[in-house]
Structure formats: structure tokens, C-alpha cells
Chain A
Amino acid sequence: EDKVVQSPLSLVVHEGDTVTLNCSYEVTNFRSLLWYKQEKKAPTFLFMLTSSGIEKKSGRLSSILDKKELFSILNITATQTGDSAVYLCAVEASGATNKLIFGTGTLLAVQP
């Protein structure tokens, strides 16, 4: 059975801290791994990773994929209160139609 597991489940940090969120997966027909940020409603897209070892960066956020060890990390540096959200990892499995399989999410709370 396809599985995506995130850790930690929740995390409380102070502004300015650096955090690392983890995502491991066991998915048949892996195609890509995506990171989303979800505050109150819709998940918003952060990164899509398809190749091992290539870091993607957007401002204070960065992510990398290891297809050999089947995991990805999402780093957030100099955290701000606006980073507080649930961070979702999703793996895209290819087939007749591709589909996203979500992990359980990591709830990040950044305190002032």
C-alpha cells in the first residue's frame, strides 16, 4: 500500500529559528514529490521535486529529494509567525491517471 509519512507531527519554535520538516514515502510508480502549505483553507503550492539531490529554493524555504533513501526535507530559515501552518508533503504516483497521495502533515507553530 502506498504510504507517505511526515515527521514531526507538530513543532513549536520561536521566531528566527530554523526548522527541518521530514517526509518519507513508499509509493509505487513514483513520479514527483510536492510540498504544500495549508493555513485555513486551500493548500498552496511550494515545491515540486522530481530529481534527487537538486535543491529548490524560494526565499527562506528550500527543499531537496533523495530518491534512493525515499525521503525529502523542507527547510525554513529565520522563521516568522506567518510561517505558522500545516505543511503537507504529497507524492504523485503515475498510472493511467496520476494522483497525489498526501502525508499526515506537520503542524508548525512559530511563536513571537
Chain B
Amino acid sequence: DTEVTQTPKHLVMGMTNKKSLKCEQHMGHRAMYWYKQKAKKPPELMFVYSYEKLSINESVPSRFSPECPNSSLLNLHLHALQPEDSALYLCASSQPDWGRDYGYTFGSGTRLTVV
């Protein structure tokens, strides 16, 4: 299995809703990432988990709450979002150690619309 699977593919939520995005990989990667991508812009890093521990939080507002229950799963819990949070949310994974030559593997993303 060489994929990163994200669910759902599309999500529409109101500003008072609570929802979660899910990311799963079975490649044995020990680093997992959340990126946010607005239209016609490059992906922007939000969070990095390394060996199931949060190691980077790029000053993301607390209405986004990441969780890494185990080495294969990464969740992003959403609460009280704003319309400007509408974007494509990409999950990625990689091996955190030196020596690999296959880069980071990205999921297909969740297209989030906040109404």
C-alpha cells in the first residue's frame, strides 16, 4: 500500500459545527503532516507529527485541533470555523529519517467549504 487516504473528499460545514478530517497511511511512515491549500496558492504547512508526537504547529488557530491516535492515523478536528478557512486540506506522510529518496506522499485532500 503506497497511498495516503483522506476522508471525506468533500465537506460542507456551518460555522457552529464540529467535524473531523481523517488521514490514514500504511507505509510505515512515522512523520505525518497537515497542509492547507487555498485556490491558486501553494500548500502551507499547519502541523507535523513525528513518531505520534506533535512537533510543529505553525501558529495555527485553536479552532483546528490535530490528533495522532497511532502511527497510521492522523485526524484534524474542526470547530467554529470561519468562511476564510475554506480550502483544500492535504495530509502527507514521510519517513522522518535521512536516506530516503521518495519524498513525501500526499493524500488527495479534503475540499472544505465553511458556510
Q: Is the interface of A mostly helix, strand, loop or mixed?
A: strand
Residues of chain A contacted by B43 (CB below 8 angstroms): 43, 88, 100, 102
Q: A48: CB under 8 A from chain B?
A: yes
Instruction: Give complex CA distance A103, B42 in Å.
Output: 6
Contact A48–B48 (Cβ < 8 Å) = no
Contact A100–B102 (Cβ < 8 Å) = no
Among A45, A101, A104, the residue within 8 A (CB) of B105 is A45
Instruction: Give complex CA distance A25, B104 in Å.
Output: 19
Contact B88–A104 (Cβ < 8 Å) = no
Q: What are the interface flags for B1-31 relative to A under an 8 Å C-beta threshold, 1 for contact and 0 otherwise?
A: 0001000000000000000000000000001
Q: Give, as a whole number of angstroms, the nearest-CB distance from A52 to chain B.
A: 16
Q: What are the interface flags for A81-112 relative to B under an 8 Å C-beta threshold, 1 for contact and 0 otherwise?
A: 00000001000000011111111110000000
Instruction: Give complex CA distance A48, B50 in Å.
Output: 21
Among B50, B55, B104, the residue within 8 A (CB) of A100 is B104
